[in-house]
Amino acid sequence: MPVTDLLRRNATEHGKEVALVELNPSMEDHRKYSFKEFDLVQQTSVRPYRRQITWQVFDEKANRVANMLLERGIEKGDRVAILMFNCLEWLPIYFGILKSGAIAVPFNFRYTANEISYCADLADVSVLIFGPEFIDRIKTNADEISRNRVLIYVGDETCPCPPFAENYWNLVADYPSSDPGIKLTDEDLAAIYFSSGTTGFPKAILHPHRSLIQAAEMEAVHHKTTKDDCFLCIPPLYHTGAKFHWMGSLWTCSRAVLLKGAKPDVIVKAVSDEKCTIVWLLVPWAQDILDALDRGEIKLEDYDLDQWRLMHIGAQPVPPSLIRHWKDYFPNHQYDTNYGLSESTGPGCVHLGLENTDKVGAIGVPGYRWECKIVDESGNPVKQGDVGELCVKGPGVMLEYYHNPEATAETLRDGWLFTGDMARQDEDGLYYLVDRKKDLIVSGGENIYPVEIENFLQEYPKVKDVAVIGLPDKRLGEITGAIIEPEPDSNLTLEEIEKFCNQLARYKRPKRIIFAEVPRNATGKIEKPLLRKKYGVERLVEQENKS
């Protein structure tokens, strides 16, 4: 069945129950924000800023979006993009796109103006729905971005609609909240998500409704989610991890809280106030909470946390020491870690499992309805214990890289998804990641591609050679390190490089810059293992000396 059937079911069977809560502690008073009467959003008069909607209102809001898009000429299979920060409108817009029969295309909110334009063209986007935070970026490239597509602005009266876009609220107000009645199956196209290879150029990943249904059921099975649970969602909804973990709430018709903010006290207070039972954290956020507890800035006795039963982590390798420390403070917590790719509908094709906490360090076992194998360069299975490329197979595998048959053929073979990650399997059948074949850096859950930054830095006239590697970091897992070999007698300075790097998106800027010779082998390839060994070890020693 299509994933939209789950929303219809929840609205019919539990329409008056709360589906979503938006919590923004940085807004001290919601009363200065004006929302239209038809929005049907319940607001509270207490601080912090908080809104909530029921399953019925969620469904009705999605129907208004769907009817608006259909009236505007959107047809089954057309692409509609979303460029918004997390808010109460995000998921109803996403489901409205799906209910119209169109394909939802979430954009990374870190995209620059050029990246927005590039991805809109790559995915053949017909409509771009965006929030107030992106006005300036779109304005920079508005003529190109708006060519042959409609721009719809979702904002409020504190930030007027820009002249190059149409006002979302005015549009949806004129359309009925009844279901549009578009017939869909689980094999109809549903969503495009973006990934990148080692070159850094985005690839558009196409998924049908069956992938989304698989993600929803799998999340509920893995984490034993019930209708009584409450999921705290902090990461951005454009990310497959956040959205598909939330799908467990959709499957079980349970409440979820969208929290804006990731400070330790903010997270713990939200868990306490909203009675959250399941929380998905990135490694930096978990580390920040532990550090705040160690310093005494947070005292557990000040909060109501007895109902919090599960903390799980994904998006990057998890240090076993972090989980051991977490258990010191939360000995009764269940724990899980999830491995996945956007090509496998996000997290869960491999997961540790609630029963395997003693195996922290492993990514785990095949997820619900998934298969795994490890193969050599020829695609043949390796012996247990040997290192090879991890491959996964299951109902959440993508259909293709949109408009990229060559990359599709390389990644999908006989139904297996070749992940590009090197792994091994232990004697108990658990899988461990060993290295990343694609040479990407994972920093705070974000993928950073070294070649993209290397190519950028090579453009600076005083740079002779450059290598970008991941360096270990206690909080982020990894940080980006750039080893730069200056041109002889160029007098290249750190300040020059830092100023030049301001042209990059903030998360792509190198966090550590080292002036040194860049070693290359006889074939001209950078000897990155040597660099990782040299500077990675140095970084670890620095951290130990500071601790």
- Tens of pLDDT, residue by residue over 65-115, are 999 999 999 999 999 999 999 999 999 999 999 999 999 999 999 888 988
Q: Which residues, other chains included, contact 289 with Cβ-Cβ below 8 Å and sequence gap of 6+? A: 264, 267, 268, 281, 298
Mean per-residue pLDDT, 123-146: 94
Cα 172 off chain centre by: 28
C-alpha–C-alpha distance, residues 257 and 227, integer Å = 14
Taking every pair of C-alpha atoms in the chain, what is the biggest distance, in angstroms? Answer: 74
- The residue count for the chain: 547
State pTM to two decimals. 0.83
Give the pLDDT confidence score for residue 41 in this predicted structure: 46
Give the pLDDT confidence score for residue 47 in this predicted structure: 47
Banded model confidence at residue 23, pLDDT cuts 50, 70, 90: very high
Closest to 247 measured CA to CA, from 348, 327, 315: 348
Banded model confidence at residue 353, pLDDT cuts 50, 70, 90: very high
- Helix, strand or coil for residue 15? coil
Element (DSSP H or E) covering residue 142: helix 142-145
Q: Work out the percent of the chain whose per-residue pLDDT is above 70.
A: 91
Mean per-residue pLDDT, 291-296: 93
Place of tokens 């390839």: 525
Query: And the tokens for 2?
Result: 């299509």
C-alpha–C-alpha distance, residues 213 and 222, integer Å = 14
pLDDT over 70 at 254, yes or no: yes
Give the pLDDT confidence score for residue 493 in this predicted structure: 95
Q: How far is CA 311 from CA 54, 308, 333, 534, in A?
A: 26, 8, 7, 35
- Identify the structural domains of the chain with CATH numbers, from first to last: 54-208 (3.40.50.980), 441-546 (3.30.300.30)
C-alpha–C-alpha distance, residues 409 and 370, integer Å = 21
Identify each DSSP E strand in 145-277 by its residue range: 150-153, 166-167, 189-196, 202-208, 230-233, 255-259
Element (DSSP H or E) covering residue 117: helix 113-122
Q: Work out the percent of the chain whose per-residue pLDDT is above 90.
A: 68
Give the pLDDT confidence score for residue 86 in this predicted structure: 94
pLDDT over 50 at 38, yes or no: no
C-alpha–C-alpha distance, residues 445 and 443, integer Å = 5
Helices and strands counted in the chain (H then E)? 16, 28
C-alpha–C-alpha distance, residues 103 and 191, integer Å = 5
Give the pLDDT confidence score for residue 537 in this predicted structure: 58
Give the pLDDT confidence score for residue 525 in this predicted structure: 67
Closest to 36 measured CA to CA, from 145, 167, 134, 163: 167
Closest to 78 measured CA to CA, from 8, 149, 158: 149
Is-contact 52 20, C-beta < 8 A?
yes
- Tens of pLDDT, residue by residue over 209-251, are 999 999 999 999 999 999 999 999 999 999 888 899 999 999 9
Closest to 362 measured CA to CA, from 437, 282, 435, 433: 433
Average pLDDT value for the chain: 89
**What pairing do the DSSP bridges indicate for beta strands 388-393 and 371-375?**
antiparallel
Give the pLDDT confidence score for residue 443 in this predicted structure: 86
C-alpha–C-alpha distance, residues 24 and 261, integer Å = 7
Mean per-residue pLDDT, 29-56: 57
Element (DSSP H or E) covering residue 325: helix 320-329
Banded model confidence at residue 35, pLDDT cuts 50, 70, 90: very low
- Tens of pLDDT, residue by residue over 160-191, are 999 999 999 999 998 999 999 999 999 999 99
Cα within 13 Å of Cα(327), Cβ side: 11
pLDDT over 90 at 370, yes or no: yes
C-alpha–C-alpha distance, residues 248 and 221, integer Å = 8
Is-contact 512 536, C-beta < 8 A?
no
Query: And the tokens for 191?
Result: 């969503």
Is-contact 249 202, C-beta < 8 A?
no
- Helix, strand or coil for residue 330? coil
Identify each DSSP E strand in 92-209 by its residue range: 103-106, 125-130, 150-153, 166-167, 189-196, 202-208
**What pairing do the DSSP bridges indicate for beta strands 79-83 and 125-130?**
parallel
Give the pLDDT confidence score for residue 48 in this predicted structure: 55
- Tens of pLDDT, residue by residue over 187-214, are 999 999 998 644 457 899 999 999 999 9
C-alpha–C-alpha distance, residues 342 and 346, integer Å = 5
Is-contact 138 116, C-beta < 8 A?
yes
> Residue 48, preceding bond cis, omega within 30 degrees?
yes
Cα 303 off chain centre by: 29
Q: What is the DSSP letter of 307?
A: T
* Helices 240-252 and 209-222: angle between axes, nearest 10 degrees: 70
C-alpha–C-alpha distance, residues 515 and 486, integer Å = 7
- Tens of pLDDT, residue by residue over 308-341, are 999 998 766 677 888 989 999 999 999 999 999 9
- Helix, strand or coil for residue 465? strand
Give the pLDDT confidence score for residue 521 in this predicted structure: 64
Is-contact 346 214, C-beta < 8 A?
no
